[in-house]
Amino acid sequence: MKKLYFLFSLFLIAGEDFISEFEYGQMLYKNPRGISCAACHAENGEGKEIVSYQDDENQTIIIRGVDIRSHSLVEIEAIVARNHPVMPKYYLTYEEVEAIYFYLQEVNKESK
Ligand code: HEC
């Protein structure tokens, strides 16, 4: 009986670890290193307005997180690792960027 309990708890632990590649990518897209891509590029990477303000000459300036649904894996990998004026620089592994890319592809399958 003891043995059975042991096996059962192993199963539970293994079960908790089991998330799909899609869920992993989704989790990363929503919260990579504490700053969500979704905060600036919207739920599915379609892009959105981050902030707008009036400058000194009363012009409206809009800062936008661009649409990132059609960027390739290679492009995204290079972009996240670079310095930008607004977007943070991320130190993500290749597997993490790949998972984010996979998530964006999966979630936007229908709109293609
Ligand atoms: C604080 C807001 C912010 C966050 C968070 C953010 N981005 Fe961005 N991103 C931007 C803005 C603004 C641009 C466009 C201008 C620029 O390059 O800074 C951009 C540009 C991009 C581009 C395209 C650049 C081009 O020139 O076509 C990609 C791809 C991208 N982001 C991916 C990501 C991914 C993936 C994440 C999460 C790991 C992320 N971004 C997080 C604001 C953000």
In this model, does residue 97 exceed pLDDT 90?
yes
Atom from ligand 1 closest to the CA of residue 35: 5
pLDDT at 34 over 90: no
pLDDT confidence bin for 3, thresholds 50/70/90: low
Q: Are 66 and 48 in contact (CB under 8 A)?
A: no
Q: Name which residue sits closest to atom 34 of ligand 1, judged by CA.
A: 37
Q: Is the pLDDT of residue 59 over 70?
A: yes
Give the integer Cα–Cα distance in Å for 34 and 37: 10
Q: Which CATH architecture has domain 19-107?
A: Orthogonal Bundle (1.10)
Centre of ligand 1 from the C-alpha of residue 100, in Å:
13
Confidence at residue 79, expressed as pLDDT on a 0 to 100 scale:
97
Residue 57 pLDDT grade (very low, low, confident, very high; cuts 50, 70, 90): very high
Task: Give the pLDDT confidence score for residue 50 in this predicted structure.
Answer: 95
Instruction: Please state the rounded mean pLDDT for residues 57-64.
Output: 95
- Which protein residue has the closest C-alpha to ligand 1 atom 11? 65
Average model confidence (pLDDT) across the chain: 88
Domain boundaries, the chain: 19-107
Cα 69 off chain centre by? 11
